[in-house]
Amino acid sequence: MEKTMMKGNEAIGEAALRAGCRYYFGYPITPQNELLEHMANNLPKHDGVFLQSESELAGASMLYGVAATGKRVMTSSSSPGISLMQETISYLASAELPALIVNITRGGPGLGRITPAQSDYFQAVKGGGHGDYNLIVFAPASVQEMMDLTMLAFELGDKYRTPTMILGDGIIGQMMESVTLAEPVEIKQKKPWTVGRRKDRDYRNLVISAPFTNEEMVELNVRLQEKYREIEANEQRVECYRMDDAEFAIVAFGIVSRLSLAAVDSMRNKGYRVGLIRPITLWPFPEKAFASYPQVKGYLTVEMNEGQMVEDVRLAVNGAVPVHFYGRGGGFTPAPKQIEEKVAGIMEGGDLA
């Protein structure tokens, strides 16, 4: 398998191509333009469709159209552009269409700045759009994972007929890192529900997000929730680092987990029994992992936002031990040293139980 260097944004694009995605719609926005441009440069070579849409709104609906045909399709944007897609994302979930949406988050709220941020966690996992639905949300922490989780996102999207999201940030999108290219896959899923030529079937396919009766609408919700429970049971992904004997743990995702790894290593060298829990799937949130470490006396959730994932950590821990938070939105990146100080402060303050 080939090893090379690539930007995180490009790795997503390259993975999409290798996952058989031949349709990309999107609208420029920093800091994810490399992904848009990777698709612009490469899709034509694969007889694929790259279409710059007139807006994120239109792009999302183009994506919806392709998704209805069952072909692998994606779009990407950054925070304000993702906000514009919320209606359509809700439609995708309702119509049970697989499609990949990439959010290379920037510092908000509002127009904000293109500095890195993780402030769209809630939007991604609690449903920024209306209605009860979920996306499978992945939080890569390396360029390799930008690639691997993109492949997985297409796979699981098809498996569960559900839209998926890669939630990254400007750092992970813009950085280059050594990466092993994924093997191109052949798409296995049969999709009897797709629209298109009606030759070998004696039924019509309808891709709709509003059934005919109120009862069917409730049933749709029941069906969606059953699917979500299944995904929660099967697809929680997490990395636990030096957790086995940890008496305190940092919880962090994406780039912050890398900074936290540095903090953990450094503190371990100083004798602190610290570990790291890194959610790889943000939804389903890997809550099961927390039960595996009953010896942990406290958690510090570190995020590049004002405290979002920390709520899911608290829900997972359910009051068993204190869960602290360190972070800031709008473009702040916590240095390993700062994380270390925070952890040390808590551990030494005896504020663990």
Partner 1 sequence: MKQVFGKPKSLTENPFTYCPGCSHGIGHRLVAETLDELGIVENCVAVSTIGCSVRCWRNFDVDVVQGAHGRGMAVATGLKRALPDEVIFTYQGDGDLAAIGMAETMHAAARGEAITVVFINNSLFGATGGQLAPTTLAGQWTSTYPNGRDVDWTGEPIRMAEILASLPSTSYIAREALTSPKRILQAKKAVRKAFDVQINHNGFGLVELLAACPINLKLKPVDAVKWVEDKMIPYYPLGEIKNTKGVG
Partner 2 sequence: MLREYNIAGFGGQGILYLGQVLAYAGLLSGKQTTWIPSYGPEMRGGTANCMVVISDDKVRSPLVYNPNVALIFNKPSLEKFGADIMPNGKALLLSDLIDGELDRDDIEIFKIPAKTIAEEMGSAMSANMVMLGALLTIDPVFDYSQIEAAVKKVTPSHRQHLIEINLNAVKKGIEYAEQMINGGYKEQEG
Ligand X SMILES: Cc1ncc(C[n+]2csc(CCOP(=O)(O)OP(=O)(O)O)c2C)c(N)n1
Cβ atoms of residues 254 and 140 within 8 Å: yes
Question: Which residues between 325 and 344 bind partner 2 (CB under 8 A)?
Answer: 333, 335-337
Residue 27 near residue 200, CB atoms below 8 Å: no
How many Cβ atoms sit within 10 Å of the Cβ of residue 132? Answer: 12
- Contact in structure between 282 and 138 (CB atoms under 8 Å): yes
Instruction: CB nearer to partner 2: give 178 or 292.
Output: 178
193 binds, among ligand X, partner 1, a copy of itself, none (CB under 5 to 8 A by kind): none
Q: Which of 75, 120, 81 is nearest to 99 (CA)?
A: 75
Residues 203-242 vs partner 1: string with x where CB under 8 A? -xxxxxxx-x------------------------------
Task: Give the burial class of 159: count Cβ atoms within 10 A of its Cβ; 0-12 exposed, 13-18 middle, 19 or more buried.
Answer: middle
Dump the DSSP string for 82-112. HHHTHHHHHHHHHTT---EEEEEEEE-SSS-
Contact between 184 and ligand X by CB under 6 A: the answer reads: no
Which of 62, 117, 220, 259 binds partner 2 (CB under 8 A)? It is 259
User: Contact with partner 1 (CB under 8 A): which of 6, 7, 8, 23?
Assistant: 23
User: Looking only at residues 53 through 112 of this chain, which bind ligand X when binding is defined by CB under 6 A?
Assistant: 56, 80-81, 84
CB-wise, 20 or 65, nearer to partner 1?
A: 65
- Closest distance to ligand X from the beta carbon of 83 (Å): 8
Sequence letter at residue 7: K
Q: Show the site string, 200-219: x = touches partner 2 by CB under 8 A, - = not.
A: --------------x-----
Task: Write the CA distances from 138 to 3, 67, 165, 218, integer angstroms.
Answer: 23, 20, 6, 28
Backbone angles phi, psi at 185, to 5 degrees: -110, 155
- How many CB atoms sit inside 10 A of residue 209's CB? 17
Q: What single-letter DSSP state applies at residue 117?
A: -
> How many Cα atoms sit within 13 Å of 204 on the Cβ side?
3
Which of 66, 104 has the CB closer to partner 2? 104
Write the binding mask 111 to 130 for partner 2: x where contact by CB under 8 A, - elsewhere.
--xx----------------
Q: If binding means CB under 8 A, how many residues of this protein chain bind partner 2?
A: 26
How many degrees, rounded to 5, is the angle at CA 49 between CA 46 and CA 51? 140
Q: Which does 62 bind (CB under 5 to 8 A by kind): a copy of itself, ligand X, partner 1, none?
A: partner 1
- Interface residues for partner 2 in 159-178 (CB under 8 A)? 170-171, 174-178
28 binds ligand X (CB under 6 A): yes
The CA distance from 343 to 353, in Å, is 14
By DSSP bridging, strand 248-251 and strand 274-279 are parallel
- Compare residues 20 and 336 and give the one whose CB is closer to partner 2: 336
- Selection from a copy of itself, partner 2, ligand X, none that 174 binds (CB < 5 to 8 A by kind) is partner 2
Q: In what helix (H) or strand (E) does residue 229 lie, and over which residues does it extend?
A: helix 214-234
Please give the residue ranges that form the binding site for ligand X (CB under 6 A).
Answer: 27-29, 56, 80-81, 84
* Residues at the site binding a copy of itself, with contacts judged by CB under 8 A: 57, 79-80, 82-84, 86-87, 90-91, 93-95, 105, 107-113, 115, 117, 119-120, 122-123, 126-133, 208-211, 214, 217-222, 224-225, 305-308, 311, 314-315, 317-320, 328-332
Residue ranges that bind partner 2, judged by CB under 8 A: 3-5, 30-31, 113-114, 143, 170-171, 174-178, 214, 255, 258-259, 261-262, 265, 333, 335-337
